[in-house]
Amino acid sequence: MFADLSLAHRLELAEGHACLDFAHTRKRLTPESSTAWDAAHGAIAVFDGPDSPLTQTFGLGITSRDSYEGSLEMLEQFFFSRGAPANHEVSPLTGLALHQLLCKRDYQPIEMSSVMYQPAHCPEVPAVVDVRIVKQDQADLWGRVGADAWAADHPEFREFLLDMGKISTSRENTHCFLAIVDGEPAATAVLHVHGGVALFAGSATLPGLRRRGAQSALLNARMRHACALGCDLFMMVSEPGSTSQRNAERNGFRIAYTRTKWQLVPPAIG
């Protein structure tokens, strides 16, 4: 399985649909929200608020290579009309022309990420830490544990993370996992499935219960569940050179490519 354009197409669509399913779920739970999406211009675009990390596109230049400039203009209008900058996650496998056009249109790189993969396989030995798939009556607990774990390092995002937790447990094609250490809820993680791709995300452990095997157990459990669902490809995304990337590589993941997030801020909000 080579890191080529066809692989990038599957990976980008998987993450794009995870974001799209989140937007659909928010709108279903909160019809009055401003959440919106557009999947008609060569990318999956989601607006979840001007400052939300989910307000961006996936798959630009991957799903369609026709009229980059026309697609960018329409996507920019989608975001600008809602008071948000245009953010695009762009794989290097799209080629040089798209990157040159982004520079020409005054986009700036604001973030990089390692997109990693490996062929699906089921771990032979179940994890020793107790891991459960969360049911709806445990949604508040799961959201609170995840928010507290992430907020230990990013306290400014706690309210947003609590909100995300409520939506994630109701999102289609998503399975939320909770690890229990010494009888205490310790860590959370998410599995999202699209097109045979299992996207592993949302991993976080409460500070006092770290280094107890919770994340290894969550990865093991999600791999086994993804195989049971018929997935043939595993996917993770992390900051380049981070501890998360090293842990993923120790568990057999390979880097498919390093992706860049490009941003264009309209003058009205710049």
* pLDDT tens per residue across span 174-215: 999 999 998 999 999 999 999 999 999 988 899 888 888 899
- Amino acid identity at 59: G
Q: How many Å apart are CA 49 and CA 66, to the nearest integer?
A: 28
Q: How many Å apart are CA 88 and CA 108, to the nearest integer?
A: 10
SS (HEC) of the chain: CCCCHHHHHHHHHHHHHHHHHHHHHHHHHCCCCCCEEECCCCCEEEECCCCCCCCEEECCCCCCCCCHHHHHHHHHHHHHCCCCCEEEEECHHHCHHHHHHHHHCCCEEEEEEEEEEEECCCCCCCCCCEEEECCHHHHHHHHHHHHHHHHCCCHHHHHHHHHHHHHHCCCCCEEEEEEEECCEEEEEEEEEEECCEEEEEEEEECHHHCCCCHHHHHHHHHHHHHHHCCCCEEEEEECCCCHHHHHHHHCCCEEEEEEEEEEECCCCCC
pLDDT of residue 41: 81
Higher pLDDT, 213 or 103: 103
Average pLDDT over residues 65-84: 89
Q: Is residue 72's pLDDT more than 80?
A: yes
Query: Is residue 258 within 8 Å of residue 92, measured between CB atoms?
Result: yes
Average pLDDT over residues 70-96: 95
pLDDT, tens digit, 9 for 90 and up, residues 104-158: 999 999 999 999 999 999 987 767 789 999 988 888 889 889 888 887 777 777 7
User: Nearest Cα to 248, choosing from 210, 222, 209, 227?
Assistant: 222
With a CB cutoff of 8 Å and minimum separation 6, the contacts of 5 are 62, 93
Which span out of 33-42, 111-120, 134-143, 259-268 was modeled with the highest average pLDDT?
111-120
Query: Is residue 59 within 8 Å of residue 38, measured between CB atoms?
Result: no
Q: How many Å apart are CA 12 and CA 245, to the nearest integer?
A: 18
Q: pTM for this one?
A: 0.93
pLDDT band of residue 269 (cuts 50, 70, 90) is low
Q: Is residue 37's pLDDT more than 80?
A: yes
Rg of the chain over all Cα atoms, to the nearest angstrom = 18
Question: Hey, how many other C-beta atoms are within 10 angstroms of the C-beta on 82?
Answer: 15
pLDDT of residue 65: 66
Q: How many Å apart are CA 192 and CA 174, to the nearest integer?
A: 4
Average pLDDT score, the chain: 91
pLDDT > 70: what percent of the chain?
98
pLDDT of residue 12: 97
